[in-house]
Structure 1
Amino acid sequence: VLSLFKDAKIRSIKRLGGIGNESYKVNILSNGEEKRICIKIFSGTLNEAKKKAIKEKYFIEKLSEIGFYVPKILHYDLEGKLIGRPFLIKKWIEGRPVGKVLEKTEDKEGALEAYTYSLVRLHKVPLSDISPNIIKTYEKGEARILEQIEVLKMFSKLVKVDVSNAITLLKENRPRALGLSLLFGDYAPENVLLDNNKRLYFIDLESIEVGIREEDVAYAYHMLCFLELFNKRLKGISDDFLILYEHYYGKPLRNFEYFKAFIALKLYLILKYLMKSRRFLRPVQVITIIYPIIYTIFFKRAMNYLRECIRTYIVS
């Protein structure tokens, strides 16, 4: 880190949130000027971590080339030779998560427009522009759905929850004629930043994948619904997002009720798994204090909302 700057001294290191990897904000004093960087260390087996690091580096460079706002990479080790795990060192983006901006009434509309328009732009990136060596693709959209149904089955077994009726229904009712798009994969308002010039930055890109655009839209929709659960002033923002998305994309969403239920079930099972393994919580010593708060305030409300989405689809 110090070799990237002249006469540098590290002033502070702060561990950031995150579940699958480790990220740190590092403040550095260089020639009397303060610099900020982000270090992302990839977790998993060495092979898994390498794949994630290679993928994120590729998409930072590719999306920057296309015209998206992404952090600049200052240094990287994709092989894990230096510390035993791959890492990226990126320029720190001075901005606020879209979720925080949405809470400010005066900035809400502009933030939602930027959030929606950036997702539309990503979905319109031609898959032919993306290296097939970096990301898995499918011959047909139906193959993607069938693969994701197997993922649902796997998570239901891990958390020992019987959702076989819902999975069977989703398999039987799956749409057949579906196009494929580039997906963000984790498009929550907390995972993208708005800077002071209202530019939206994609920060973490390791979850990008090929799939059906309605998957991404349904995921973002549910994330906005979560915000509505905790902030009454944001009521209706999820529906506004759908209207904006169709406006910017130029075509209506297809089979959205199906994908809304599909992603609700996926989120339900993933949240069950994360809470069961307590992977939401760091460091370990504060688990006994934080866990009940997270469980009662977020987990219960979110899970009740997701259960209702799934139930509504099953009985309809």
Structure 2
Amino acid sequence: MSEVVGREEVVGEFGRHLRIERDLSQHTVRAYLADVNSLLDHVDGRLEGLDIGVLREWLAGQYRAGKARATLARRTACVRTFTAYCFRRGWLAADPGLLLGSAKAARPLPAVLAQEQAQAVLEVPSAGEPKELRDQALLELLYATGVRVSELCALDVDDVDRERHVIRVLGKGRKERSVPFGLPALRAVDRWCIHGRPLWVRARSGAALFLGVRGGRIDAGTVRRVVHARLAQVDGAPDMGPHGLRHSAATHLLEGGADLRSVQELLGHASLNTTQIYTHVSIERLRAAYRQAHPRA
């Protein structure tokens, strides 16, 4: 390690940079720091001599160890972020990460519901118990808006604009956006807020829109269980979590004629390239329908 700074300080300062300046999630910070520690183990804890050859050697070792392409892509991104930070801090004389190519993660097409399956998922009969009202409301809102599960869990009651039919969402990078929703979702949310939520409200509930059975803000794990359980009730529906409903919402929007840029804004994607995967999903579904239906396919 450099004579100026020790390993613990480097890792600690880089972690602070990721959390505070980059505002990355706790999961991402943990993964990045694990990658940095792996790299530093490779160079015996020394920054001196950290060049492009060493970086490629480390990544090649990861490849030989059988790491998935998505893991290699993340570790490449981490290394580039790390070396750039070290260069700015004066811990490296040059930034070797600039010479490192970007590893491309394989992007399998996401599973999505057919529109008929989505309708069936949302039309499962309910007895009107608080849990059923909550589950119906969050399922309707997930499919209507395509929000991430973390964004859904973070919603407060006042984030729902009933007059304009939009919800206010705080997405990645603390970027706020407004996402529209339709009447079925509004009715389901109103039923939950009027007949279900008041029965579960406790002092710890605060302004949270969706609550757990003990009155606290709902967590992502609970939402995932709700989605999996509901999909299991629909014959032929693929097993998927909340992100599957997000994929389905985006695909159905494009199939219905929405333009790609609008879908990008609705989903809160920073890059249009991320949204373009849904055009591939739609094309593959069209090809499958063609092969099945056309006599000379």
TM over 0.5: no
Higher radius of gyration, 1 or 2: 2
Q: Where on the TM-score scale, by shorter chain, does this alignment land: which range?
A: under 0.3
Query: Under a length normalisation based on structure 2, what TM-score does the superposition of the two structures give?
Result: 0.24
Q: Which has the higher helix share?
A: 2
Instruction: State the TM-score, normalized to the length of structure 1.
Output: 0.23
Higher percent of residues as strand: 1
